[in-house]
Structures are given as structure tokens and as C-alpha cells.
Amino acid sequence: MTAATSQPLGDVRVLDLTTFLSGPYCTQVMGDLGAEVVKVEAPEGDSSRHIPPHFVNEDSAYFLGINRNKKSIAVDLKTERGRRLLKDLIAKADVVVENYRPGVAQRIGLDIQALREAHPRLIWASISGFGQDGPDRGKPAYDMIVQALSGVMSLTGEPGRPAVRLGIPAGDTVAGLYACIAIGAALYRRNTTGHGETIDVAMLDCQLAMLAYQSTYSLVAGTTPGPQGARHDSIPTYRSFMARDGRELVVTANTEKMWQGLCRSLGLTELIEDRRFADAASRLENKAELWEVLEAAFLLRDAEEHVADLQKQDVPAALIKTVPEALKDARAAARGMILALESEQGDEIEVVGNPIRFVGEVPASSTYPPRLGQDSADVLSSWLGMASVEVDELVAQGVLSHKLGAVAGNA
């Protein structure tokens, strides 16, 4: 382990064997929290480096958004020497994160159980589509696959229209976050037991867990929830509305006090005494009639006027923002959610930052996502004590990428 720092994971070494999104998202969070994350890539790099349409030099914006605070080492695992080198690095790691399809690790010579037995403190986290066991373990999975199979897509979109994928890759990112939670718990328990864990996170399981009350409704009442649109199954005053200027806003009036504030804001105080809307249950039962009245009232003023007046009545309300508008607001809020990163070559990008805050601590600066193989020499020197001449030999043998930084002390 590296020397401890003030960052929460500052003494944790993470070997990142992941590609695309679920795994890199997990390890980026760990890097944000101070872990030394070494991304092991094939000579051609993580596939996400090449996703169009936006690039900064040779790397895609997709890749740059999920790989800050990492180092990159490019190893050809098709070679015997490359596989031995990977095992040497695993022996020095606290955590290994991979998102191979089940069985692939074994095929490239990584016997997870044997590695865990050889290194009892090692935490091995596997992220896959369907888990390490079960009938679908060998099937490929991507974000939209697990959104479809979990029921999430059946809840997304407008009633009477085709199912819609969530506009964010929740199948991947949620799995990455659950993996982070599991790794954090395993690191905590290791402090007591001295032993690591083998972690099995399935993207489909994570999406099922995110169904929240919709799954409980179905299990308890036998219902089949349908597309939600911008509405709520239980609270008819928790939805979006169109305003006079064509902009949409959302209102979440989910208590009696908020319901009354909504009525006052819209000039509909007579609804407070209307028996059809006397309480939450009756409003739900008569939601079609209620919506007709509310929708007409919202069309009488512009969206920003409604939001301002509703907030004066202590009714939560907000405009539906575009992504650029939301990012502009985040910049103005100055909570560090827009990060400016600069590479050693002078490339500059902005990315969305880490939402985790520790009160009283200044967030550590973040590093630009690594070029392919840029840290190979440095990592092999610091983790394995390898001299520059040995690194040169691995390059000559085709085991390592040629894009190398200098070995510390041997430049």
C-alpha cells in the first residue's frame, strides 16, 4: 500500500481492468476519493477511447468523462509475459475491479479464487450484466439491455407510446456506484478481519434494486405499473406542467400544506374545500378532473413566474432545464461540480466533478485522464521496482505500449 494521505482512500491501490462505462465509472469515483487507480489497457486502448462523435486529440469525450484521476499502463495480455506482469501487479494491489463477462478472466489466465488465496487481503470486484452465476451469466449486457429486462424501460415514456430508454446510462452508472459501496464496505471490514472479499455486482440486479416503490407495489398488490411520463403513480400533484411560454416546469406538492399552497399560487383556493380533492386519496381517485383544472391554470402564466410564486408558497417547483442550462447553473453554484482539467500536453477539457463532499476539507485537485500507456514505466517502477532497462525490454518484446513516461529516477 502507498503512504497514507488526507484523502479517504489515499492509501489504497486499485488495479482497473475495466472498459466502457460501469467499471471505469466505479474506479473514477475511487480515484476522486484519493485511491491510486492504475488502468490496465490493451495496446489499442479501452474501446471507449474511440467512441464518436467528440474527441480531444485521439481520445473521445466519452472516455475523458469517466477516466480522470487514473494512470494508464498498456499491456498485451495475449502474451505470456504480459499475463505474468499483470499477476505481479495484482499482488501489489488492494483492490482489483473488472467487468469481464463471467469466464473471461479464467480464459486469460486469471484464476480469481487462486489469486484471492495467494493474496488474502485482496478485494476483487467483478461487475457483469447478470452476475457470476445463474442461467444468463454468459450473456453480454449493456445499459439498454438491463434497462429493458429490469422493467425500467416499461416505466419510462408516456402512456400509450413505446417504451423509452432513460436519457442517462443508469444501467452502467448505478452498477458502478453499487460496486463502490461494496468495495468501501470490504475495505472497512478488512481493517478488522485482515481479509479481502470477492464481490459480485450484476447490472440487472442493480436496476431491479432501483425500481424502489414500483417493485413493492407490484409485489404487494400484483399491479403492472405502466409508463410514468412526468407523473407519479401515487401523487397527482407531483408532475410536470406546460406554461404559457411553452416551457415546462415540475411541481412536487406531496403534502397537504403544499397542496393548499399550490391552490393559492394558481388562484384556485376553491379547490381546497372541494370534496373531490379533500385529501390525498380523493385527489388520486379524481386525478383526471384535477389535472384538467390545473393544466388550464398553468397555461395562464409563464413558467418562471409560476416557479417563483410557488416557491413563495413553499411548494417545491422547478423549470425543466436543458443540459447546457443545468451545467451553467452548476458553474454559478460554485460547488466544484464543473472541473477544468489540463493535460501535460496542454489539452484542456471540462468535466462534471465528484458530488461527494467532506465538510471542512478542500477537495483535492484532479488529474487529466491518461493517454494510453503514459504511466507504464512509472507504475512498473513504483509498484514492482522495475528498472528502466527492464521496461525497455518489455517494450521491445511487444508486451508494453510504446507510449511511456519516464521511470522515476531513471529519466
Sign (positive/negative) of CA torsion 123, 128, 132, 133? positive
How far the first Cα of the chain sits from its last, in Å, is 24
Q: Does residue 309 have an active-site annotation?
A: no
Q: By the 8 A CB rule, do 88 and 115 touch?
A: no
- Among the listed residues 261, 270, 275, the one whose alpha carbon sits nearest the alpha carbon of residue 309: 261
State which amino acid sits at residue 94: D
- Cell digits for 310? 410557488
76, 94, 172, 205: the catalytic one is 172
Peptide bond into 369 cis (omega under 30): no
Q: How far apart are CA 80 and CA 136, in angstroms?
A: 31
Q: By the 8 A CB rule, do 27 and 123 touch?
A: no
As a residue count, the chain comes to: 411
Q: Give me the helices (H) in 252-317, please.
A: 256-265, 280-285, 287-298, 303-312
- Looking at the annotation, which residues are catalytic? 172
